[in-house]
Amino acid sequence: MNQDFILGRLSEIMGWDTDRSRQEFDWLRLMSRMKYDGYQDFLAGMRFIESLADWIQQFSPAEREAAYGLIRGSLVYISTSEMNHLVELFYPETVQWRLQNAVAARLGIPPYRVWAAEEPSKLYRKLLRQTLFVELSDGARIDVFRRANAGTISNEQVVTAPRINREKWDDLLDDLRAEDKSARFSSIFLIDDFIASGTTLLRKEGDKWKGKLARFWKEVQEVLPTHFESGWTLNVHHYIGTHRAQRVVQERQKAALTEHGEGSWFNSVEFSFGIVLPEGTPIDAGSHPDFVALTNRYYDDTIETKHMKLGGHDARLGFGSCALPLILEHNTPNNSVALLWAETLGGEDKHAMRPLFRRRQRHV
Amino acid sequence: MSVARRWDPCIYHRGVHAAGFIREYLSHDDRRVMLVAGGGFDPRSTHICELMTEVAAGRLQGLFLREERPGPHPELLRRAEANCALLRSWLPNAMIRHIQVLATDNAAVGGRNAVSLVNGISLQGFTDIFVDVSALSLGVAFPLIRHLLETVKRGGNGTPRNLHVVVMDEPPTDHAIRSITGDLPAPIHGFRGGWGLHDKSRAATLWMPQLSRGRQAILRQIYQVIRNAQPDTVVCPILPFPAARPRLSDELIEEYAVELQESWQVDARDLVYADEKSPVDLYRSILRIDDARRRVFSEVGGSQIVLSPVGSKALSLGALMAALEQNFTVMYVEAIGYDVDFDRLDARISGPAGEFVHLWLHGEAYGTPHDSEGAGT
């Protein structure tokens, strides 16, 4: 579709005058070209500006400025290049630093001495080989991670399935022992793209701890005595995390350890993030009163599936009421404000929600 | 397959880790330290000296450079005097030296003068040199670091073994100090690279400007000079991501809309992202691009990268490292003066301090006094 044509329609929809249209068109052309058109779920002929025109029309004319204002002033869009950069940063900025400190601790030297002599450098290489990298979801971009670290991290150290059966554990150990017959694993990095509420990673339901971390604890028990060094370390890395998640995961890890007791839960888990979205990122009635009013008015609670209810009984501000104005180029998180991604049929006095960035549901 | 790099791995620290490193490292009695820093109006002149004095009093010597430009604002002079008085109160034997940044024809000579000055000062007996670039202009800091790196690498009896670069990274302070620039973009002294050389006349030129707030005019001037020399110059702007403010790169894209779309004609896939907090990340990114381009253009005139680090001081160190390693051109416009927003500067002084960054460029940490700094992994 001719971009000028759809911009003209958008101008009519928004009721912009000539000056305002010129100003907004410049921004829309720029940002769609540089970032937003890259959203993976846009269709040919229905990219950002077309989707915006469609999305805006679900609101009354008087409300459209508030909707547009959120996109113009608060949307956080992480592009493919930005996401790939977070993946590329993971090894040099997080893994290397952790292992460098581990070598220093084992040898009783300051971390800055690790590259100064052969012995610590050799131990570094050994510990690196004894490290496994496990994806927690397909958002972990393991393909990008492998390419970025070719020649440094072996393919046999990278596990592309969140659940590892006994046969796979044995294969991983065999590969490790091809180089050192008595070697065991000394550390694991669990990797995922995004964490907002912390619920999917670790939560308490009734008197049970659930989530990916709880599941990993169960699965690793069988091989802990045979495949792992005593004192092995668990690291959990997310390329993107919220300020809230950064705090919550620490608290829940501490609570789970206290309840289970040492030996029955991970003694320590090191959490890290490629970028932490600041505390002020979520929207609320104070920062975005008009838009929050829209989230109340244009809400269809049929999006509250069984999975969504794990995060609470109201999803208008997204899973776990995280209230994020966040879009990831490969899919919009369900923790983002529902008006950005939800698509419903409406009916029975319920509004048919139209998405700006359509979300592919992982859980139905 | 990645290529072995001079600073990969690199010993560098940030924030509490940097301060922790200084406290531990300088606590050893055998460390004798020369601190080379700016002694000007910039409030960052004193932070790192204060920290080092706490730990290494009696083993710390200071060389503070006062950059002189024509017709300074009296308030700038007053603040510079106050900072120097503070530095002298901590280090009574400190050397405070004046450097003319501009020649009578406004040509940038600060770097050359700084090198000449430091060359005349004995470094005998010091184990470590720390260059604090917080309050130095790049035109002075880059040549100084190159000279000192060559000095410590050359070694010799009594010459310091270790060279460190430190900076108090404070983007709000950078924004409060606006450079008044002349109209003569030129390579920084010692960072000419292949610029103007006959054998680079056919080279495919890639310009990598570091985008930051309020620097359009400077970058426009630089681009004009590069484009006059190489009309087919390709532009890959550097944007800060990840950053403390996740929308910062979007805001910069908007601020540089005209340049990106019309003047430089940048394709979205040519945006280069560098961690706002990590100079080493930018260093790696630049060299990765250089590796690829060298292969592509090896038989058709070669590749030439030109850097213009006009943004945060911390990220500019990444450009410095890449330029030192591959002899890239660093194109810059020297400030002929400063237009300082004193209210913003003072607001920053009463607010939280910036983050301290430490880079170890050469010495014991790498176990070799020779060219290859890194042990490799």
| Complex ipTM value | 0.93
Say yes or no: A145 contacts chain B, CB-CB below 8 A.
no
Residue range A225-239: mean pLDDT, rounded? 96
Residues of chain A contacting residue B16, judged by C-beta atoms under 8 Å apart: none
User: A125 — contact with chain B (CB < 8 Å)?
Assistant: yes
Dihedrals φ, ψ of B305, to 5°? -105, 135
Q: Which amino acid is at B89?
A: S
One-character DSSP codes across A237-261: EEEEEEHHHHHHHHHHHHHHHHHH-
Alpha carbon distance B311, B210 (integer Å)? 6
As a whole number of angstroms, the distance between CA A142 and CA A90 comes to 11
From A210's Cα to the closest Cα of chain B, the distance in A is: 31
Gap from B3 CA to chain A (nearest CA, Å):
10
A260-306 pLDDT, tens digit each: 999 999 999 999 999 999 999 999 999 999 999 999 999 988 888 87
Task: Kindly tell me the burial class for residue B32, based on how many C-beta atoms sit within 10 Å of its own C-beta (0-12, 13-18, 19 or more).
Answer: middle
pLDDT recorded at residue B178: 84
Tell me, what DSSP letter sits at residue A298? T
Considering only CB atoms, B9 lies closest to which of A26, A110, A115, namely: A115
Burial-class residue A173 by CB neighbours within 10 Å (0-12, 13-18, 19+). Answer: middle
pLDDT at B45 over 90: no
The per-residue pLDDT for B346 is: 82
- Residue A362 pLDDT class (50, 70, 90 cuts): low
Report the distance separating Cα A258 and Cα A249, nearest Å: 14
A168/A158 Cα distance (integer angstroms)? 12
Decide: helix, strand or coil at residue A132: strand
DSSP B259: I
Q: Give phi and psi for A319, each to the nearest 5.
A: -55, 130
Q: Which range among A184-188, B91-95, B195-199, B239-243 shows the weakest confidence by mean pLDDT? A: B195-199
Distance CA B62, CA B90 (A): 10
Residue A78 host element (H or E): strand A76-78
- The answer on pLDDT for B374 being more than 50 is no
Nearest chain A Cα to B260, which residue?
A30
Is the pLDDT at A67 greater than 50, yes or no? Answer: yes
Q: What is the pLDDT of residue B370?
A: 41
What pLDDT, on a 0 to 100 scale, did the predictor assign at position B4?
Answer: 82
The beta-carbon neighbor of B374 closest among A31, A93, A115 is: A115
Nearest by CB to B246, from A29, A35, A277: name it: A277
Q: Residue B84 has which token pair?
A: 């120097």
A236 with A272: CB under 8 angstroms?
Answer: yes
If you average pLDDT over residues A225-246, what whole number do you get? 96
As a whole number of angstroms, the distance between CA B287 and CA B320 comes to 12
Instruction: Flag whether residue A97 sits within 8 Å of chain B, measured between CB atoms.
Output: no
Is the pLDDT higher at A57 or at B176? Answer: A57
For chain B, give the mean pLDDT: 91
The DSSP annotation for B279-330 comes to HHHHHHHHHHHHHHHHHHHTTTT-EEEEEE--S-HHHHHHHHHHHHHHT-EE
Residues of A in contact with B268 (CB under 8 A): 33-35, 38, 79, 81
Look at A237 and B355; give whichever has higher pLDDT: A237
Tell if the CB–CB gap between A275 and B280 is shorter than 8 Å.
Answer: no
Residue B177 has pLDDT above 90, yes or no: no
Of B366, B288, B274, B258, nearest in space to B318 by CA: B274
Nearest Cα to Cα of residue A249 among A291, A212, A298:
A212
Say which residues have a Cβ less than 8 Å from residue B373's Cβ, sequence separation at least 6: B6, B7, B10, B361, B362, B366
Residues B248, A171: Cα–Cα separation, whole Å: 45
pLDDT at residue number B93: 93
Q: Are A72 and A56 in contact (CB under 8 A)?
A: no
Please check the confidence at residue B1 and state whether its pLDDT lies above 70.
Answer: no
Q: Tokens for B376?
A: 């490799």
Q: What is the pLDDT of residue B337?
A: 87
- Chain A residue closest to B252 (CA)? A31
> Among the ranges A163-167, B178-182, B270-274, B342-346, which has the highest mean pLDDT value?
B270-274
Q: Which of A22, A32, A34, A100 to mutate to test the interface with B (most CBs of B within 10 A)?
A: A34
Dump pLDDT digits (tens) for A130-143: 999 999 998 899 99
Test the B interface: residue of A23, A79, A112, A329 with most B CBs within 10 Å: A112
Distance CA A122, CA A187 (A): 17
Model confidence pLDDT, tens digit, residues B204-259:
999 999 999 989 999 999 999 999 999 999 999 999 999 999 999 999 999 999 99
Tell me which residue of B33, B360, B22, B130 sits closest to A116, measured CA to CA: B360
φ and ψ of B285, to 5 deg: -60, -45
- Would you state the pLDDT for residue B296? 87
> Do A30 and B257 make contact, defined as CB atoms within 8 angstroms?
yes
Is the pLDDT assigned to residue B145 strictly greater than 80?
A: yes
The per-residue pLDDT for B352 is: 62
Instruction: Give the helix/strand (H/E) hosting A111.
Output: none
Tell the residue number behind the tokens 């495919």, with chain if given. B204
| pLDDT more than 90, % of chain A | 86
Per-residue pLDDT at B354 exceeds 90: no
Helix extents (H) in chain B: 16-25, 47-56, 74-90, 110-119, 138-154, 171-176, 216-229, 248-255, 257-258, 279-297, 313-326, 342-350
Give the pLDDT confidence score for residue B368 in this predicted structure.
59
Enumerate the residues of chain A whose CB falls inside 8 A of the CB of residue B251.
none
Coil vs helix vs strand at B339: strand
> Using an 8 Å Cβ cutoff, are B334 and B110 in contact?
yes
